Amino acid sequence: MMHCLFDPFINYGFMRRALVACFALSLSTTPLGSFLLLRRMSLVGDALSHAILPGVAIGYLLFGMSLIAMGVGGFIAGLVVTVLAGWVSTMTQLKDDASFAGFYLGSLALGVTLVSLRGSSVDLLHLLFGSILAVDKDAMHFIGIIASITLLILALLYRALVIEAFDAVFLRVNQARFPRLIQALFLVLVVLNLVAGFQILGTLMSVGLMMLPAVAARCWTTSLSWMLVLATTIGMFCSWCGLLWSFYTSLPAGPIIVLSTSMVFLLSVLLGQRDGIALLLRRNLRKKI
């Protein structure tokens, strides 16, 4: 049993690289997912994961499978959609979720169309769902740099992010411009990490490792610090399980990792100590008795 759990990572370099990259992503993306959850912006992360596809596609059309070109293109596309969605919600009566939905759906369609102009169905699947074989040393360095930058900025902005998540009115009253700057930097970090994650998980799946561990952790604790630790742990555990599952079944790694986190999420919803379904059922039975 122990050989099945560890041999793929000991004997195969691409499995080790994929595991290290997934662990780095778990360290940086799950805290962002936790703050998105607390700010009631969970679907914004999903919208941005789709929004980066046109930039990734343009980088692919111009330079081929160049990680730097696709990463820069995806980052620019994500920032453009973020700015446009914020501008539309400010200038009109549309709320943020409606404006993000309009732009991300158009971005997804545009990205798929651009890839179809030159690439094959295999290239499209690689961009949408990622590929474990694409994780080379350059990809690891790219992900490691983004994860390090994310953790450093989160450490510097931690108090402000907590205050904004729980008492945004207080922050707006005391610092008129500060909340906008915090939100802008936060969304930039979200876009950066989605760009980093598309190599393994693809543009459609990268948000899964960001949000699902955070939602699962929320089912077990009300403490923010423990939620961040638990979400990171769940992300790493599901990455390990998903890579093993993918290795032994030859299924795509990105969807399998996200499927693993979905299973942990469902278990957390059922058995979680914070308003889990099983706990609520026990309370209702005690009241009836």
Nearest to 21 by CA among 242, 273, 264: 242
Q: Provide the domain limits for residue 101.
A: 2-288
Stated pTM of the model: 0.86
Torsion of CA 41, 46, 51, 53, to 10 degrees: 160
Per-residue pLDDT of the chain (289 residues; tens, 9 = 90+): 677 888 888 888 888 888 999 999 999 999 999 998 888 877 777 778 878 888 888 888 888 777 778 888 888 888 888 888 777 777 777 676 677 777 777 887 888 788 777 766 556 666 666 676 667 788 888 889 999 999 999 999 888 888 877 765 555 555 555 667 788 888 889 988 988 887 778 777 888 899 999 999 999 988 889 999 999 999 999 999 999 998 888 888 888 899 999 999 999 999 888 767 877 777 777 776 6
**Could you tell me the two tokens for 195?**
């760009």
Tell me the Ramachandran region of residue 131: left when phi exceeds 0, alpha when psi lies from -120 to 50, beta otherwise.
beta
| 152 SS3 class | helix
Backbone angles phi, psi at 135, to 5 degrees: -85, 95
CATH number at residue 176: 1.10.3470.10
Residue 123 has a pLDDT of 61
How far the first Cα of the chain sits from its last, in Å, is: 45
Q: What is the 3-state secondary structure (H, E, C) of 176-238?
A: CCHHHHHHHHHHHHHHHHHHHHHHHHHHHHHHHHHHHHHHHHHCCCCCHHHHHHHHHHHHHHH
Residue 117 has a pLDDT of 75
Backbone angles phi, psi at 40, to 5 degrees: 55, 45
**Could you tell me the two tokens for 147?**
């994860």
Query: Within 10 A of 93 (CB to CB), how many other CB atoms are there?
Result: 6
> What is the rounded distance in angstroms from the CA atom of residue 94 to the CA atom of residue 85?
10
> What is the rounded distance in angstroms from the CA atom of residue 85 to the CA atom of residue 103?
7
Q: Are 254 and 128 in contact (CB under 8 A)?
A: no
Residue 53 has a pLDDT of 83
pLDDT tens digits for 154-167? 999 888 888 877 76
Residue the block writes with tokens 């308003």: 275
DSSP 268: H
Counting the structural domains of the chain, the total is 1
Residue 114 has a pLDDT of 80
